[in-house]
Chains A and B, each alone.
Chain A
Amino acid sequence: MDYGINDEPRRIRNQVQHFIRIGRYEKAKIISSELISKYPEYPYAYYDMAVCEYYLERIDNSIELCYKALELGMRPVSVSIMLMLYYNEKGDFINVDRQHDLLKTLDPNNNDALAFYGYSLWKRGKHKEGIIMLEEAFANDAMNPHIIGFLFAATKKSRDNKQKEQLLNIYMSSSASEKKKLIFAGKYYIHMKKWKEAKRCFSGAIGIDPMNSEALDYMKIIELKDNLPKLMVVAIGWTTAVYFLRFDNHQILTYGYFIPSILMVSLVLAVIYKLRRL
């Protein structure tokens, strides 16, 4: 029955949200732009488009679209959280603080915002303040996978392995997707230097999503690390061969046998650096 309510924008938006949820941002963006051209006063269309632009790594467009959504009457809480995320990505911390202050007045109990701001502070070197906020958010909503993720990242450097294990267990029973759980577990095992388990987790994640660049990067590093001993043997063999095969007059490749060793040491250092940054 027709009650005179036009629910077409809502129907189209439902499609946009579906494509965003399944990670098809290009497709979602196309439908969003059609929605905007058909209903230019519909704020949610701009908001959804901002989300797509963010995932397509066009942060400035996202920010602009968020303000447009606000201008057209979109709920400020959701937009402020997104803006905080986008400004943080840009490294514009003044605006991150501004959005956080705004959110404190609009929705003081928003744990996602609190955790995100805590993590942002921690990343900026304000470790103590950051951790306090993250722990507060975690105390309020312990099963939120985003909060657990931020808290885990912030506590990685602490020596409290028991806390990390607890976080892993909680994350595994949260509502996060199977793929995210595997990546989280993989990161945990890397941190605990359990390479075999980490490899198993990332391999599982890639098995679910072969296009996941995060899991693929971790996998490459682990495989490179696994292959280091083999490379070492090759480097030593190469060094020895060059040493014995050098010319008698010592003019060519006098110190040439150092080259493989230097290359090998550089590679090892690069892998160690990468592993420490994971």
Chain B
Amino acid sequence: MDKIQLLNKMISLNQEDGNAWYLLGLEYVHDNNISEALKAFSEALKFCDDSIKKEIITSLASLSATSDVNKSRNTYEEVRTNTEHGIEAPKNEIELDNLEETDLKESESIKVIPLRVIEGQRSSKIPLEGDTRTAITFEDVGGLDELKENIKMKIIKPFSNPGIFEKFKKKSGGGILLFGPPGCGKTFIAKATAGECRAKFIPVHITDILDPYLGVSSQNIKDIFTKARASRPSILFFDEIDTIGFNRAKLSSEHMRPVIDQLLTEIEGIEGNTEKLLLMGATNMPWDVDPALRRPGRFDKLIFVMPPDVRARKEIFILKMKGRPTEKIDYMELAKRTELYSGADIENVVELAAENVIESIMRTGVEREIAMKDLLLAIESTKPTTIEWLKTIEIYIKYGNNKGLFRDVEVYLKKYKAYLGGH
């Protein structure tokens, strides 16, 4: 009796023996019977305990990366090609989900269980559950044409056309670090980038990584990368990356060292396998990001997400005023008067204007709409919060040993020197 028969016999005696299912899966892998292996692993996941869960997930991920995920990627690529040739394409997230369900049906016919189904069993700590390809694109980002063009050249084109980079022996991978003042839409831009790349957007936050138990934080990082590799094309997005890869020169304790080391190891791993997996990070405090993370091959492409330009500010005003009772508003005038205001600052202006109108209605008993003068008054009583940030980065550029790294910022600072109080 060979091993597979023996394990099948064990399973027929106890259908809920997770270990037997796992071993059966391994045997099928050994025999190169991928579809049966996937089926066995998915059963193993249903019945296993925590001690072997991670091994099963790892085996599954490596299997999926080489077999069925490639298949579904091909199907997805086909749809993309069709889109480019004018054939009706999925327009939103729901349609994209349907598309994956179609893949699923096709897969069932050849007895391959797609990873998405199996992922239902995974640990809730890993933030991949429910992440779908994002429907946000650059069309949803108002203004900021220069930034969008920059991202297209630095991220989207290398991601979508790796061939030309390979031809010229140029690495198309690595990571991208978005930095800029708070409230300027770094996360939104990252999501839109994923939408443009038609890739799965996988957000990672420090809370997904930190664990009080020894070694678990590093393991969490490892798991995140394993899963991201298995669900390519994908964008792994590290929000507030400074809290994960905090500058070690500022830390007295060594508590984050294993996490940063693991992160660096995983990024190096990506470098060898860049196809359809992109790393993105966002931070308000680029000075707090460990310099090791900014070395070539890691988060080496820095993109400055500046405060919204006049067109973007106009769009934000329109968006924030939507649904509120207003008189005729000159949005362009408002945008012109809010130089250096972040999206959050503009929201604050609108809220303040609305509050003032409500207060005046309560006082006088006469109902009225938000007028232009209310908004102008609100603008006069507020200041852009980005100024502090710009002053800090100016100091950082002056004293930090990072010549040329922040050229975009230097140009921007020069342009707005008058607003920074002679700095």
Which residue numbers of A lie inside 8 Å of B, CB to CB?
1, 7, 10-11, 13-15, 18-19, 21-24, 145, 175-180, 203-204, 206-211, 216
In the complex, chain A residues whose CB is within 8 Å of the CB of B402? 207
Q: B255 interface residue, CB < 8 Å from A?
A: yes
For B287, give its contact among A18, A176, A204, A209 (CB under 8 Å).
A209
CB closest chain-A residue, reference B207: A15
Find out whether the CB atom of A14 lies under 8 angstroms from the CB atom of B399. Answer: no
Find out whether the CB atom of A15 lies under 8 angstroms from the CB atom of B206. Answer: yes
* Residue of A206, A210, A211 with most chain B CB atoms under a 10 A cut-off: A210
In the complex, chain B residues whose CB is within 8 Å of the CB of A207? 396, 399-402
Known: A10-B212, A21-B255, A22-B243. A178 touches B396 (CB 8 A): no
**Closest-CB distance, A56 to chain B (whole angstroms):** 17
**Closest-CB distance, A9 to chain B (whole angstroms):** 10
Find out whether the CB atom of A177 lies under 8 angstroms from the CB atom of B395. Answer: no
Find out whether the CB atom of B399 lies under 8 angstroms from the CB atom of A21. Answer: no
Find out whether the CB atom of B250 lies under 8 angstroms from the CB atom of A1. Answer: no
- Separation of A11 and B209 alpha carbons in the complex (Å): 11
- Separation of A69 and B211 alpha carbons in the complex (Å): 23
For B252, give its contact among A19, A24, A180, A216 (CB under 8 Å).
A180
Known: A19-B243, A22-B243, A24-B243. A208 touches B249 (CB 8 A): yes
For A177, give its contact among B207, B210, B252 (CB under 8 Å).
B252
In the complex, chain B residues whose CB is within 8 Å of the CB of A211? 287, 392
Find out whether the CB atom of A22 lies under 8 angstroms from the CB atom of B251. Answer: yes
User: What 9 pairs between A and B have smallest CB-CB spacing?
Assistant: A178-B249, A207-B400, A210-B396, A14-B212, A206-B399, A210-B395, A207-B399, A177-B252, A22-B246
For A209, give its contact among B207, B210, B250 (CB under 8 Å).
B250
Find out whether the CB atom of A21 lies under 8 angstroms from the CB atom of B206. Answer: no
Find out whether the CB atom of B211 lies under 8 angstroms from the CB atom of A208. Answer: no
**Closest-CB distance, A204 to chain B (whole angstroms):** 8
**Closest-CB distance, B183 to chain A (whole angstroms):** 15
**Closest-CB distance, A5 to chain B (whole angstroms):** 12
CB closest chain-B residue, reference A182: B249
In the complex, chain A residues whose CB is within 8 Å of the CB of B247? 208-209
Number of interface residues of B (CB under 8 A): 30
- Separation of A10 and B213 alpha carbons in the complex (Å): 10
Find out whether the CB atom of A11 lies under 8 angstroms from the CB atom of B255. Answer: no
**Closest-CB distance, B361 to chain A (whole angstroms):** 33
In the complex, chain B residues whose CB is within 8 Å of the CB of A24? 243
Q: List 26 A-B contacts (CB under 8 A).
A: A1-B49, A1-B50, A1-B51, A7-B212, A10-B212, A11-B212, A13-B212, A14-B211, A14-B212, A18-B256, A21-B255, A22-B250, A177-B250, A177-B252, A180-B252, A206-B396, A206-B399, A207-B401, A207-B402, A208-B250, A209-B247, A209-B250, A209-B287, A210-B287, A210-B395, A210-B399
Q: B12 interface residue, CB < 8 Å from A?
A: no
**Closest-CB distance, A59 to chain B (whole angstroms):** 23
Interface code B228-263, partner A: CB below 8 Å = 1, 0 otherwise?
000000000000001100111111110110000000
CB closest chain-A residue, reference B400: A207
- Separation of A209 and B248 alpha carbons in the complex (Å): 11
> Which residues 374-421 of B have a CB within 8 angstroms of A?
392-393, 395-396, 399-402
Find out whether the CB atom of A216 lies under 8 angstroms from the CB atom of B210. Answer: no
- Separation of A24 and B206 alpha carbons in the complex (Å): 13
* Residue of A18, A24, A204, A206 with most chain B CB atoms under a 10 A cut-off: A18
- Separation of A216 and B402 alpha carbons in the complex (Å): 18
- Separation of A15 and B250 alpha carbons in the complex (Å): 18
- Separation of A23 and B246 alpha carbons in the complex (Å): 11
- Separation of A14 and B247 alpha carbons in the complex (Å): 19
- Separation of A112 and B247 alpha carbons in the complex (Å): 26
For A14, give its contact among B210, B248, B400 (CB under 8 Å).
B210
- Separation of A207 and B168 alpha carbons in the complex (Å): 36
Q: B288 interface residue, CB < 8 Å from A?
A: yes
In the complex, chain B residues whose CB is within 8 Å of the CB of A10? 212
In the complex, chain B residues whose CB is within 8 Å of the CB of A176? 252
For A21, give its contact among B251, B395, B396 (CB under 8 Å).
B251
In the complex, chain A residues whose CB is within 8 Å of the CB of B49? 1
In the complex, chain A residues whose CB is within 8 Å of the CB of B288? 22, 209
- Separation of A145 and B212 alpha carbons in the complex (Å): 26
Known: A11-B211, A24-B243. A179 touches B395 (CB 8 A): no
Find out whether the CB atom of B393 lies under 8 angstroms from the CB atom of A210. Answer: yes
CB closest chain-A residue, reference B291: A208
**Closest-CB distance, B421 to chain A (whole angstroms):** 15
**Closest-CB distance, B102 to chain A (whole angstroms):** 39
**Closest-CB distance, B283 to chain A (whole angstroms):** 12
- Separation of A178 and B396 alpha carbons in the complex (Å): 16
Find out whether the CB atom of A15 lies under 8 angstroms from the CB atom of B401. Answer: no
- Separation of A147 and B392 alpha carbons in the complex (Å): 31
Find out whether the CB atom of A177 lies under 8 angstroms from the CB atom of B251. Answer: yes
- Separation of A175 and B51 alpha carbons in the complex (Å): 37
For B253, give its contact among A21, A203, A208 (CB under 8 Å).
A21
In the complex, chain A residues whose CB is within 8 Å of the CB of B250? 22-23, 177-179, 208-209
In the complex, chain A residues whose CB is within 8 Å of the CB of B393? 210
In the complex, chain B residues whose CB is within 8 Å of the CB of A7? 212
- Separation of A222 and B249 alpha carbons in the complex (Å): 24
> Which residues 190-239 of B have a CB within 8 angstroms of A?
206-207, 210-212
**Closest-CB distance, B72 to chain A (whole angstroms):** 34
Find out whether the CB atom of A18 lies under 8 angstroms from the CB atom of B249. Answer: no
